[in-house]
Chain A
């Protein structure tokens, strides 16, 4: 696979459920090695977009490909090169951390599972919890276990849905640092859905703002701040969520 192929390419993605349109004509292309934030309020279509990228949800129309592979039809050709982490999906609670990581290591075909589990446990400060049932861990420890699971196969594409939700500021900062290091070391592509603007501002070189299933804006954090005349991405987010961006553009 060459570098010319987009890591993730969404082309006029539409998803219509019985209750309405969740995603409405979303297109973007993420180059390999990039880190991008997907922002939007509740119901903006972030989770559905990520689910379509993972192939868990089929688009009503349009296409999404990962490393050149059509995710609606051939997702199994590329799933071993991707991984994800989300607070809305749990690891089996009765299994110990080691057992969970071993099972997923085998599912992802990791070459030396035991060594990889040991490495990740050291990197993510999980050594003392390895033989504890996952359900007995604190929220922060569980997030680190999910993160370890998402890094088991050294993914080229990492999809993160609210990776620091429910974490204290210290742990959240620690997770962000780890993600930055991983991306730098592996050259991985990261797509990050988050409500945490400071997190996106710190980690992401590009931000895609979604509202009511559409992309409202798509640029670097610096250019978004400049365009909206704001100090923080949170203010930009509020402008977009409350329609002030449209009003400003109309006035101009």
Chain B
């Protein structure tokens, strides 16, 4: 028998690239998939943008300060759409009954996760860039004007979205499509707890402890500090990053454990409900 034409490698950028290529082909083949990426962020931004305009004309300085509503909604969308971008790419494989092909291929679980992370950013960029430009044009809110702070906000929010996306994907692998609803709803649990639209200080003490255990809370507090007090709170960003690293590592470990459990329970060959 001649030598095999391919070689084993522990981590392959080519395999990650192959998965990204697969999702690129998929998006290119379906304009509704692309439209959907922009539709909800645009609707949200318009609704909150007009509300902000109304508040600007009628409310006190603090309520008006610096576009906190529209800033919050754009940052919330980075968090939510980042997770959705990750989870939907994963679900595409379940819907296509392609998971068996992938799991039987040399693609390693962490390469698959890396490809989903790349796709999360690609989908986010397709959805968010036009929306931020419309926000600039309609409401004179320049998200990019946040400069370095935006990079810190983005990095922390996308890390959280990946951690949640990885966890949800593991649960779907283990429990089948019956757990699909989690992909669409789990992030909304964080919406009230991470203080997207109000400061942490309005919570009772015990709930503040819960809020401060969640990295996005630091980002939204940091955004308010920047827009209202014009102060960049690096301390908040560093705490968020530390928490994110812990949650991300936990989510990867849990994902690998759930994948093992799926292999023990035979869930990978029964990818239905």
Contact = CB atoms under 8 A, between A and B. Distances in A.
Interface string A36-59: 000000000001100100111110
A111 B269 contact: no
A111 B5 CA distance: 7
Contacts of A230: none
A238 to B, nearest CB: 27
B15 A107 contact: yes
Interface in B84-104: 92, 96-98, 100-104
A107 B103 contact: no
A47 B25 CA distance: 31
B260 interface: yes
A66 to B, nearest CB: 12
Interface string B249-264: 0000000000010011
A80 B8 contact: yes
A5 to B, nearest CB: 11
B6 A110 contact: yes
Interface string A19-51: 000100000000011000000000000011001
Nearest to B105: A107
A110 B5 contact: yes
Given A56-B269, A89-B97, A156-B1, A107 B107 contact: yes
A90 B98 contact: yes
B196 interface: no
Nearest to B268: A56
A108 B5 CA distance: 10
A24 B98 CA distance: 29
Most buried by B among A93, A95, A106, A187: A106
Interface stretch (B16-24, B179-187, B232-240): B16-24
Most buried by B among A55, A89, A104: A89
Contacts, number: 129
Given A17-B266, A90-B97, A111 B260 contact: no
B6 A111 contact: yes
Contacts of A141: none
Nearest to A59: B264
Given A89-B101, A94-B30, A156 B260 contact: no
Given A51-B269, A76-B106, A91 B101 contact: yes
Given A80-B7, A90-B98, A109-B106, A33 B1 contact: yes
Contacts of A227: none
A82 B104 CA distance: 9
A81 interface: yes
A52 to B, nearest CB: 10
A81 B6 CA distance: 8
A93 B4 CA distance: 29
Interface string A105-149: 111111100000000000000000000010000000000000001
